[in-house]
Amino acid sequence: MNKLFIVAVKEMNGIIRTRSQMLVGIFFALWFSVMTAPVITTVEESLVFDQFNNLLLYFVLMLGIFTAYLFSGKVFFDEKREGIIETLLCTPLSLRQIWAGKVLGVTIPAYLIALLAAALITVIANIFAASILLPSPAVFLHIFLVVPAFIAVAVGLLGFGHLLLGMRENQILNISIFVAIFLAFSLANNNVISGGYAVSGVMVGGMLIVAVLLLALISYLTRYLSKERIVTTIS
C-alpha cells in the first residue's frame, strides 16, 4: 500500500473510532438538518424544489467544512503539540506524503458526515413536502464532487497552518476559524432561508473549478513547509 494511504487509513480509523468526535459530527449533522429542512414549508409550492436544493448546496458544504475543522485539530495540531510529528518526520515518508495522507484521512470521515447531513435534510424535507423531493442533477454533482473537494481544501489549509505556525498562533487560528465558520453559517442561513434561487450546473461547475484551483494552490504552498519550520514551532 502506498505510504500516503497508510497514514490516511490510520487517521481515518482514528477519527471514526473516537466516539466523542463522531458523535459531535453526527449531532451537528442532525441539528442543522432539523433546523434547516423545515424551511421548505415557509415558501410557495412552486419554490419548494429550489429551496430544498439551496439548503443542500449550502448546508452540506458548510457542515462538511465545519466537521473538517473539528477533525483536523486532533490529526494535525495535537500530533504537533505532543511532538509525535517529530518521530513521523524521521520515517521514510516525505513531508508532503504525511500532509496529503492526513488530508485524505480527515476528508473522508468529514465527507461521510456531510453525506449524512444531505441524507437527513432530504428525509426531513420529504416529511414536510407535498411531493417527493430529490436533489437536482446539479446538486448531486455538488454533493459528490464539490463538497469533498472543498472539504479537502479546508483540511489542507488547516493542516498547512497547523504545521507552519507555532502553538500560540495555532490557537489563535483555531478560534478565528471557529468564529469565521459560524459567521458563514449565519450568513448562509439568512441568504438561503430568506429565499433561494435555482442551483445551476454552471454554478456548481464554477465551484468545482474554484475548489480544484484552491487544492492546487495549497498543494503548491506545501513546498514552503519544512521539517525545520515544524520542529522549531513545536514548543
Partner 1 sequence: MNAVEIQGMAKSFNGTAVLDEINFKVRKGEIFGYLGPNGSGKTTTMRIMLGLLKPTSGKALINGKEPDDSNSDLRSRIGVLLENNGLYERLSAYQNLLYYARLYGVPESDRVEKIERLLEFAGLSDRRNEKTGRFSTGMKRKLGLARAMIHDPEILFLDEPTSGLDPESRIVVRDLILRLSEDEGMTVFLNTHDLSEVEKVCSNAAILEGGRIRACDTIVGLRKSHDKPVLEITLVDTGYAERTLDLLTSQDCAYDCERDDRRVTVTLNDESPSTVLAMLVTNGIAVEEVKNATKSLEAVYLDIVRRRGTTNE
Q: Which of 22, 86, 173, 208 binds partner 1 (CB under 8 A)?
A: 86
CB 108 within 8 A of CB 17: no
Query: Would you say 51 or 170 has its CB closer to partner 1?
Result: 170
- Residue 3 Cβ vs partner 1, minimum distance, rounded to whole Å: 6
Among positions 35, 82, 195, 216, the unique one binding partner 1 when judged by CB under 8 A: 82
205 belongs to the binding site for partner 1 (CB under 8 A)? no
The answer to whether residue 228 forms part of the interface with partner 1 (CB under 8 A) is yes
Helix/strand/coil (H, E, C) string of 130-193? CCCCCCCHHHHHHHHHHHHHHHHHHHHHHHHHHHHCCHHHHHHHHHHHHHHHHHHHHHHHHHHH
Q: In the complex, what is the shortest distance from the CB of residue 128 to partner 1, in angstroms, rounded to a whole number?
A: 41
Check residue 224 for interaction with partner 1 (CB under 8 A): no
Tell me whether residue 194 is exposed, middle or buried, using C-beta atoms within 10 angstroms of its C-beta: 0 to 12, 13 to 18, 19 or more: exposed
Whether the CB-CB separation of 203 and 138 falls below 8 Å is answered with: yes
CB neighbours of residue 54 within 10 Å: 25
User: What is the Cα–Cα distance from 61 to 87, expressed in whole angstroms?
Assistant: 35
Query: 42 or 226: whose CB is closer to partner 1?
Result: 226
* Residue 174 binds to partner 1 (criterion: CB under 8 A): no
Instruction: Rule CB under 8 A: choose which of 174, 184, 205, 227 binds partner 1.
Output: 227
Residues binding partner 1 (CB under 8 A): 1, 3, 6-7, 10, 14, 17-18, 82-84, 86-95, 226-228, 231-232
